[in-house]
Amino acid sequence: MSNDHNERGHLSGGGDHQRRFRVAVAAASFDFRDLEISDPVPTGRQLLEAGGFRPVEEHLLFQLLESGALEERRLDETAGLRRDGVERFIAFRSDRSFRFEADDRRFEWGADRVTGHLIKLLAGVDPKSSGVWLERRDEPDLFVGDEDAITLTAEGLERFRTGPIFVLCIESKEIPWPKPTITTEEIAALGNWDPNLGVQEVNLMTGEARTLAPGEVVELQPGKGFCKKIGWRRG
C-alpha cells in the first residue's frame, strides 16, 4: 500500500506532462469538458473538484464505460485512467441514484428524469435515425421524443427500447415519425392542414405527384434517404 501511495504522490506533484492523463467530465447534458490530471487513479472527489462540481458532497459521479454503461464512483472510490485514451465521467447534483433499462441493458443514472436524446446516446444508436419507446404492459409503448423527459422512480424499473425512426418530408419540412406506416389524415395533421384539402404524394426526384385516397395507408422506409425521394403536400 505504501508503494501505491508514494507513486500516486509522485504523479500528482511531479508536474511531468508525460505522466498526465486526459479525462472528460460533464453534467447530465453530456457537454463533456476535457481536463488533464496527474493522478492515474484519482478518487471521485478529485474528479468532481477538477470538473468544478462543488460542493462535491452534493454530487454523484458516474464513469462512462466502453460498453456504454454508467458505473457510479463514490467520493472515496478510485477510477483507473488509461494512457492512450480519454476516460469520461458524468456528474449529477443529486443525493441518490436511479436505474433504467434500454435495449435490455441496465444503466445507473443520477437524476430522477431522463430524456429520449440521452437514452439514445447511452444506448449507442444514431440519434437522427433512431427513436425511443417506453415499454408499457397494459397499453401501447409510448414514443419518447428527444426533448421528452421520463420520470424515473426508485421503486420500479423503467424499460426503454430503441428502433428505427422515420423521417417525413411534408411541404419541405423534415418531421420525425415513430411508426412504419402513416395515413392520409395523419400526413395532413402533421402538415397542419384540413385533410379535406387533400394530400399529394410527390416523387421529389421526378416531380410526379399522385393524390392519396382518404384513409390510405402509406408504408414508410427508415432514414432520411426516404425523405429525400418522397414527400407530401396539400392538394
pLDDT of residue 18: 52
User: What is residue 22's predicted lDDT score, i.e. its pLDDT?
Assistant: 86
Render pLDDT for 86-109 as a digit per residue (tens, 0 to 9). Answer: 899 999 998 888 999 999 999 989
Report the alpha-carbon distance of residue 169 to residue 24 in Å, rounded.
38
H helix count then E strand count, the chain: 5, 19
pLDDT of residue 225: 77
pLDDT for position 147: 92
Q: How high is the pLDDT of residue 154?
A: 61
Q: Mark the ranges of the chain whose per-residue pLDDT is less than 50.
A: 1-17
What share of the chain in percent tops pLDDT 90? 57
* Cα 15 to Cα 200: distance, rounded to the nearest angstrom: 68
Helix (H, G, I), strand (E, B) or coil at 117: helix
CATH of domain 1-95: 3.10.20.90
Which architecture characterizes domain 96-164 according to CATH?
Roll (3.10)
Stated pTM of the model: 0.67
